Structures are given as C-alpha cells and as structure tokens.
Amino acid sequence: MLVRPATCSVLIVEDHPDTAHMLRFLFNRRGLSAEVADSGEAALTFLEGGGRPQCLLVDNMMPGMTGLDLLTRLKALPEYAQLPVFINSAGYEWRDQMRAETIGAAAWFVKGVTSLDQIIARVMAACAAYEG
C-alpha cells in the first residue's frame, strides 16, 4: 500500500495581492497547501485562530508590522519558535538579512533574484523536516 506524504502547508504573508495570489497558485500547482495573509497582524490572527502551517513565506517590506517584526514575535513564542520562516523581500539590506538569521529565519530570498523554483524547493524541504 502506498502512503501519500502529508501535504505541505504554507502561510504566505504578502501585502501585494497579485504577488500573494501568484505564489499561492504556484505552491498549489506543486501540490502544497497555501493560505494568504495580507499583513503580519493577519498572520498572527490566522495562527491564533488555529491555523497550523508548516512554514511561512513572509514579505519583509509591509506597512505596519514588517516581516522582521513578525519573525521576532513568532520566534519569541514557544509554540512557533521552531516554525520555519522564510523572508521574501524586494529589498536587500545586509544588516536586515543578518538580523533575520540571528532571530531565526530559515533563509532570506530576494524577489526577482531568487528563482521561484528555488523558493518552492526550500519551502518543501523545510515542510518535510518540520516536526511542529
């Protein structure tokens, strides 16, 4: 009997609807389950409401709570400390990447530089390894 692996569940935190829906479509097309939150605050509400993704792909440059702010909040909570969080940003600042890695980000992706195939592969690997 073949046992089908559990579907990877990803929460995309992205304030640009076109980008969020394109990422969701690509993840779904690869067999991953993807939900979208349009802000850091919405992501926290999703998690507090019982959403249990196996990883997050978070835009850094969002109004209000930035991706780094969300990462900091999540890593401070025991129930999310091991949750893989990837930062996906149009901007690149070395200091921000170093801060993200220090806080516990799984990786920093630069939009338009990191290929979508690379992002999907890293997210799938993180989902497979996550035991939360």
pLDDT in tens, 6-42: 578 999 999 999 999 999 999 999 999 999 999 999 9
pLDDT in tens, 39-98: 999 999 999 999 999 999 999 999 999 999 999 999 999 999 999 999 999 988 889 999
Domain extents in the chain: 9-129
Q: Global pTM? A: 0.92
Residue 4 has pLDDT above 90, yes or no: no
Cβ count near 68 (within 10 Å): 20
Cβ count near 123 (within 10 Å): 28
Q: Over the Cα atoms of the chain, what is R_g? A: 14
CATH superfamily of this structure's domain 9-129: Response regulator (3.40.50.2300)
One-letter amino acid of 15 = D
